[in-house]
Structure 1
Amino acid sequence: MKTSTDYLDMPSKSNTQLDHIPGDNGALPILGDTVEFLKDYHGLINRKYALYGPIYRNNALLQRNVALIGPEANELVLKDTEKNFSSKKAWDPLLEKLFPNGLMLRDFDVHRFHRKILQAAFKKESLQAYLHTMNPRMKQGVIDFQKDSEFGFKDSIKSLLLNVAAQVFMGVEMGKEADKINKGFLHAMEASMAVVKLPIPGTTWYKGIKGRQALEAFIQKHITAKRATESDDFFSQFCHAKDEDGNELSDEAVRDHIIFLLFAAHDTTTSTLCSIIYALAKNPEWQDILHTEYQQISGDELQYDDLNKLEKSALVMKEALRMYPPVPVIPRRTIRETEIMGYRIPANTGIGISPLFTHYMEEWWTEPKKFDPERFSPERAEHKKHFYQWIPFGGGNHKCIGLNFAEMQVKLFLFHLLRDHKISVRPGYEMQFNVVPIVFPTDGLPITITKRA
């Protein structure tokens, strides 16, 4: 009898029996559309959709896959009512050596068990404690940012968020190791898109493996102390968590979850805040709207009960996540043969949905290229035409576990920044950014912060 985990024995190699599906093999021999995928994913998917419609085969990153486009496809894949779409098998070729055993690399019963343990990090009581810890750190971070002259926002906010995440989730200070750990995450993330995965010094893959080793060493040295005593931080709680048999999780399981948690807590939020800051700099009237909202908050720190009062801030975040979803494409791999949109999809076929493309579909959004936070207001509610048309956090069982924490971080940072300051970019500036694997400005996002009069 087959069990729910028998599919783990399937090879990861892409299924090649896809010629009956509309599409092509890409622009280049062997590489297919890999170069365009890495350099201009949005342009690539727009072009393919125009040629082939909502389902097509493609070839990128040395894999043949099937792209599924639109809210209905998003719902089919993310809800996965038949338990036929493996997240683990889809992400393993990209992340298995870099972020092994994270939640995205687990499926079904195993995923549900580990998600339940990690969920404790994001319950209301925990979020309230995090806010108390983060308030002075975010406030000081804004104070320390360069003023009245241009600087690169991306590196500054990334460093701040890593320090905050380490304190919140691990109860440790980053200190002098912050730069090394930040580079470790950066190199590991970049290596996930490496075409050639050979540990040759100087290559992207080599740097990624070395980055992973630095992350492991940093976490490992703290595990013994965390196991020795119990404290309020999540790292300690996780070190004392029990598996289904009542045993403490292994050091490797603790290490892998903490690394992935830190990565998710600061890299994706860095992406989100870069997008928000850029959009606000290009649309300064919204800075004034948020400034007015923050003036209604008493005191110089944000309290937990204040979060729901920041309605305009929530609209801005949602719109930035629509225009620049941190994860632009979500992959899965079929476990069994299935039929989608009238086409037979063989077992062990890579499939992918696109939050980025969906977020710009004119059938669902009014002037989708325009920054318009009010589209998310109760009066307009454009995002509620279909439950799966706005999916920056994914959906279904794999929906981002830290979405409430991310919103709290964003609101807290914007409160401390825009309550007393304005941000600007050079006249005519357009942010240069890459979309995959995570949306990040490639030019560092140069901005200027000035004190409000």
Structure 2
Amino acid sequence: MKTSTDYPELPRKANRQIDHIPGDNGALPILGDTVEFLKDYHGLTNRKYKLYGPVFRNNALLQRNIALLGPEANEIVLKDSDKIFSSKKAWDPLLDKLFPNGLMLRDFEIHRFHRKVLQAAFKKESLQAYLETMNPRMHQGVIDFPKDIEFGFKDSIKSLLLNVAAQVFMGVEMGKEADKINKGFLHAMEASLAVVKLPIPGTTWYKGIKGRQALEQFIQKHITAKRATESSDFFSQFCHAKDEDGNELSDEAVRDHIIFLLFAAHDTTTSTLCSIIYAIAKNPEWQDILHSEYQQITSDDLQYDDLPKLEKTGLVMKEALRMYPPVPVIPRRTIKETEIMGYRIPANTGIGVSPLFTHYMEEWWTEPHKFDPERFSAERAEHKRHFYQWIPFGGGHHKCIGLNFAEMQVKLFLFHLLRNHTISVKPGYNMQFNVVPIVFPTDGLPIQINKRKA
């Protein structure tokens, strides 16, 4: 089995060869725009766009990169017809020690092989089985949420989704380890943007490495049992998967894929649901619209065949993902010289396309700062003006493999929550949130759930 991708030898000093690109080196010596990038990525990108246009160089996180903005750039980079842009080489500096060998950290043929293996987890029959598993858990999760008092939604939904993902993908109960594993994911994610990567106790990087170790230990102790017997959960299937030569994947490959799946299945969906809950709390008329939609479902559980009926829920999800895409910027690194939008881009140059920036471009969206789910309706279809203008799931070869699972999970949770309840935030409340590395409310998203009045 092929285990690595061969790249051409890349020049070490390529990043010094981009001075012909419009842009600057940032506000601070060495750090450049790192502080603004971490605190206000959207504002930084808008400011540079107004100064330099859709292609500019910048300096953040101790790296000089080129930003490529807009649907045209998104298509060139994400479609990658000529295999110029490496996902692995872009993500490695951020994730290699924290989420090694995840699907994003593989390219071309080896990526295609592992994606094909992972795809089995998201076939229709698998999704149907997941829905059966998740229905009672989501229902009970809503019951367990505090009622009639304010509480932090982010931590509550994150814990629920982690437990659901563990059951769905691993066939195990998280139990008392849930808090430890949640912290492991949190610390690993935070460490991805650590500027100083030294394992000094107390630092963000040290916590991230310890978080990764906790995740490895949790997965590793289940692998032997999963290899000994076969069951329907994906963890077991992956333990028994074979390549074209009949070889099973190594324990390390199984471990790394499961960790990445758990991360993707609960962190990005947590981000999405936080954005949705905030949006419909600020726009309560949409709670009534969704409630009416759920009244069409006669069963107490949501069936797989019911999912297409939840059209308005789909519109709400799309609009929340437009306004708050979980991953605001998608990095790549060139493995050979190319020309993009009239500029020569050397080999071994870091580049980034921005779902967040694209989703607010007035050239493509009507009143982009307004929460307006109907913009995705069949009648208006604003998102279809360009195939790469709405890209919360990325695109091309690396388009999110679990997007159908994510939509199913979101619809299921909202169905169980809004059939009998309403949600609210305090008057005048505006969610405080960080955009990078993943959109998350920094204030915990305080909400209140109340019984819906007849």
Is this a same-fold pair by TM over 0.5?
yes
User: Runs of 5+ in structure 1 lacking a partner?
Assistant: none
1:342 correspondence with 2:342: yes
CA distance in 1, matches of 2:12, 2:360: 32
**What is the aligned-residue RMSD (CA, Å)?**
1.0
- Aligned equivalent of 2:273: 273
Structure 2 letter corresponding to 1:322: R
Structure 2 letter corresponding to 1:420: N
- Aligned equivalent of 1:325: 325
> CA-to-partner distance for each residue in 1:20-47, whole Å, 9 max, x for gaps?
0000000000000000000000000000
**Kept after mapping to 1: 8 A contact 2:148/2:450:** yes
- 1:291–1:300: structure 2 CA closer, same or farther, 3 Å change rule? same
- 1:9–1:121: structure 2 CA closer, same or farther, 3 Å change rule? farther
**Kept after mapping to 2: 8 A contact 1:85/1:335:** yes
> CA-to-partner distance for each residue in 1:371-402, whole Å, 9 max, x for gaps?
00000000000000000000000000000000
CA distance in 1, matches of 2:11, 2:416: 50
CA distance in 2, matches of 1:324, 1:216: 30
- Aligned equivalent of 1:39: 39
- Aligned equivalent of 1:437: 437
**Kept after mapping to 2: 8 A contact 1:188/1:207:** yes
- Aligned equivalent of 2:399: 399
- Aligned equivalent of 2:428: 428
- Aligned equivalent of 1:282: 282
Q: Compute the TM-score of the two structures, normalised by the length of structure 1.
A: 0.98
Matched pairs, number: 450
CA distance in 1, matches of 2:149, 2:90: 44
> CA-to-partner distance for each residue in 1:133-152, whole Å, 9 max, x for gaps?
00000000000000000000
**Kept after mapping to 2: 8 A contact 1:150/1:446:** yes
Shift of 1:11: 7.3
CA distance in 2, matches of 1:287, 1:345: 47
**Kept after mapping to 1: 8 A contact 2:128/2:304:** yes
**Kept after mapping to 1: 8 A contact 2:14/2:347:** no
CA distance in 2, matches of 1:19, 1:31: 18
Structure 2 letter corresponding to 1:94: L
User: Runs of 5+ in structure 2 lacking a partner?
Assistant: none
1:71 correspondence with 2:71: yes
Structure 1 letter corresponding to 2:413: F
CA distance in 1, matches of 2:104, 2:12: 16
> CA-to-partner distance for each residue in 1:48-84, whole Å, 9 max, x for gaps?
0000001000000000000000000000000000000
Structure 1 letter corresponding to 2:392: P
Structure 2 letter corresponding to 1:416: H
Shift of 1:341: 1.2
- Aligned equivalent of 1:210: 210
- Aligned equivalent of 2:57: 57
1:122 correspondence with 2:122: yes
1:15 is paired with a residue of what secondary structure?
helix
Structure 2 letter corresponding to 1:192: S
**Kept after mapping to 1: 8 A contact 2:11/2:347:** no
Structure 1 letter corresponding to 2:328: P
2:23 is paired with a residue of what secondary structure?
coil
Structure 2 letter corresponding to 1:114: H
- Aligned equivalent of 1:100: 100
- Aligned equivalent of 1:171: 171
> CA-to-partner distance for each residue in 1:199-235, whole Å, 9 max, x for gaps?
0000000000000000000000000000000000000
CA distance in 2, matches of 1:323, 1:395: 18
CA distance in 2, matches of 1:362, 1:129: 42
- Aligned equivalent of 1:235: 235
Q: Which structure 2 residues correspond to residues 345-364 of structure 1 after superposition, within 5 A?
A: 345-364=345-364
Paired-residue identity, % = 89
Structure 2 letter corresponding to 1:290: L
Q: Which structure 2 residues correspond to residues 7-18 of structure 1 after superposition, within 5 A?
A: 7=7, 10=10, 15-18=15-18
CA distance in 2, matches of 1:141, 1:362: 39
**Kept after mapping to 1: 8 A contact 2:58/2:66:** yes
CA distance in 1, matches of 2:413, 2:8: 42
Shift of 1:251: 0.2
**Kept after mapping to 2: 8 A contact 1:14/1:64:** no
CA distance in 2, matches of 1:43, 1:283: 25
Shift of 1:246: 1.2
**Kept after mapping to 2: 8 A contact 1:14/1:63:** no
- 1:190–1:11: structure 2 CA closer, same or farther, 3 Å change rule? farther
Structure 2 letter corresponding to 1:52: Y
**Kept after mapping to 2: 8 A contact 1:321/1:392:** yes
CA distance in 1, matches of 2:171, 2:13: 41
> CA-to-partner distance for each residue in 1:267-309, whole Å, 9 max, x for gaps?
0000000000000000000000000000010111000000000
**Kept after mapping to 2: 8 A contact 1:8/1:89:** no
**Kept after mapping to 1: 8 A contact 2:10/2:347:** no
- 1:8–1:421: structure 2 CA closer, same or farther, 3 Å change rule? farther
CA distance in 2, matches of 1:213, 1:168: 22
Structure 2 letter corresponding to 1:318: K
- 1:13–1:159: structure 2 CA closer, same or farther, 3 Å change rule? farther
- Aligned equivalent of 1:220: 220
**Kept after mapping to 1: 8 A contact 2:362/2:368:** yes
Shift of 1:243: 2.0
Shift of 1:16: 1.5
Structure 1 letter corresponding to 2:298: S
Structure 1 letter corresponding to 2:350: G
